[in-house]
Structure formats: C-alpha cells, structure tokens
Amino acid sequence: MRLILLGPPGSGKGTQAQRLVHKHGIVQLSTGEMLRAAVAAGTPIGLQAKEIMANGGLVPDEVVVGIIADRIDESDAKKGFILDGFPRTVPQAAALDELLKKKHLKLDAVVELRVNESALLARVEKRAEETRARGEEVRLDDTPEVLTKRLAQYRSLTEPLIHYYSERRKLLTVDGMMAIEHVTREINRILGAIGALEPKDEEPAKAAKKPARKVSKKPAKAVEKAPKAAKKAAKPARKATKGASKAKVAKKSVKKAAKAAKPASARKGAKAAKKPAKKLTKKRAKR
C-alpha cells in the first residue's frame, strides 16, 4: 500500500502515519524527519535546510524529491509506504507521479486530514510541551510565529494538492478533528472501502468480498471529493440498484483496485461482487 498523508502542521499526520505503520507493516517516510536528521548530522543537505526549516520555509523541491527518490528504493519500502509531509507543492507531486511511473508503482490514495486552523496552534503547543516533558529537544519551528508562517505556506503551496489529487481521483478526506482513535478507524475504513488494504491475515475469498460489502453499507468519503461529472455518471447506477449506496464511483474504483490488489485466488470472490456493475454498464450502453 502506498499512501500520502496530507494536512497542515499539527493535523496529526505523524501520529496517524505511525499508527498505520504499526497496523499494516509499511514504512513512514517523513521528509521533515529526514531533514531534521540531516541537520543534526550536519550533512550538506542538512546545512542547506537548517535555516530554511528554522524559519518555516520550504526546502527546495529538487532536494526533497531527491531524498524521496532514494528512500523509496530501499528494501524496507518495497512493501509499501506512507508519505508524511511530502509532496508539499504541485511540482513535488508531479515529480512523485513521474518517479512512481518510472518504477511501475501505484499510489493507492491520498488521505487528507481536515482540521480547523484555530485548533492547530494549541495542538502544536501541546506537542512542544510533551516533547519537553520527555526531556527531548523541542523543534525550532514549533513556535507560534513560525507556525503562522508554516500555515501560510500550507495554504498557498500545499493546499492546491487537494485539487490535484481530487482530479486524479485519489483524494480521501477524513475529519481530523475527531479523537485520534476515531481518525485511525476512519482512515482504515475508507482504505478498506477502496480496496487499498492487503488481505494480509484474512482468508483471500473473504477478503475479496469485504470492500464491496463495506462500500454498499456506508459511502466512502471519496465520493464527496469525486468530480461532478463522475457523480453524474454514478446516477443511473444508483437508480438501477435498489437500496444501493451513493458510493458507486468509489465502488467502481474499489473493484478495479481490488482486482489489482488481490491474488488470483481471491479474484473469484471479487468477480461475484462485480456482477451488478456489469448489468449497469450494459444498461448505460443501451441508452
């Protein structure tokens, strides 16, 4: 599974990434962490980034893209990864697309943690307090002044990624104001709904059926983010299947993703779940 966690500073990306790492056994790739390590080690990249980071600026795109390009080639990232803090600009996102394409890797989803800006300062202050209490050094950029700058950067340079990934049908939005456990549960629920989760410990056939069932019960948030045209396209499907959920768009991508993600033995189950969609396609074709 390859994911991006998107959200402003203090939205909980790091916390949620760690929880996903724990649950799914994939690695967290945080450019912020890697840059802080480079600063601490005094490497050339660290020397270049130190001042920029302390002032709440963004390290040049080519630097972070280079770091990520090298990192995803490492063996522990083969099984999957969660990008935390990258991409942060549209050029970084475009570079990532290129990178993944070259390596024949697919991005499963971009999870946006949506939070009220007014809560962020309190969260970052709390983070600084907890760090201090552990006897660790507080981040130089976790101050109200620098946070204000980082938020402004987020709005102008990173927020356009919401549109970027929404257009590419990758965006899933989660309410990041909920309690940590609820946010985690919701992320796992929607990842299950789009078929991004590996059927790790489950019996393959059972696992293959799961996403479809889940989606028909409760629409995945992805639908809210789907472009208008896609929602329109989903309408006849909704009419044709009695009691079906709004999540037809997501369901389609679920089936696609499920097919790609599941082993051959699991595809039988997924095929069965596909039948209604086939009928719908026929109906649509008649029209």
Query: Of 157 and 240, which CB lies nearer to ligand AMP in the complex structure?
Result: 157
Contact stretch for ligand AMP (CB under 6 A) within 81-89, 100-108, 180-188, 211-219: 81-89
Question: Residues 81, 86, 154, 165: which binds ligand AMP (CB under 6 A)?
Answer: 86
Question: Residues 11, 28, 31, 184: which binds ligand AMP (CB under 6 A)?
Answer: 31
CA end-to-end span of the chain = 38
Question: Residues 1, 4, 38, 58: which binds ligand AMP (CB under 6 A)?
Answer: 58
- Per CB under 6 A, contacts with ligand AMP among 142-161 are 150
Per the annotation, the verdict on 206 as an active-site residue is no
Q: Look up residue 203 and give its two tokens.
A: 């019996």
What CA–CA distance (Å, rounded) separates 129 from 262? 44
- Residue 269 interacting with ligand AMP (CB under 6 A): no
Number of CB atoms found within 10 A of residue 172's CB: 27
Catalytic residue from among 2, 36, 50, 88: 88
Per the annotation, the verdict on 2 as an active-site residue is no
- Give the residue at shortest CB distance from ligand AMP: 32
Number of residues that bind ligand AMP (CB under 6 A): 17
Question: Residues 50, 88, 255, 262: which binds ligand AMP (CB under 6 A)?
Answer: 88
83-92 b/e (C-beta count within 10 Å ≥ 16 → b) = bbbbbbbeeb
Query: Of 157 and 205, which CB lies nearer to ligand AMP in the complex structure?
Result: 157
**161 CB-near residues (< 8 Å, 6+ apart):** 6, 87, 88, 89, 90, 93, 110
Question: Residues 5, 6, 38, 53: which binds ligand AMP (CB under 6 A)?
Answer: 53
- Residue 184 interacting with ligand AMP (CB under 6 A): no
- Residue 141 interacting with ligand AMP (CB under 6 A): yes
Enumerate the active-site residues: 13, 88, 127, 139, 150
Chain positions contacting ligand AMP, by CB under 6 A: 9, 31-32, 35, 52-53, 56-59, 64, 85-86, 88, 92, 141, 150
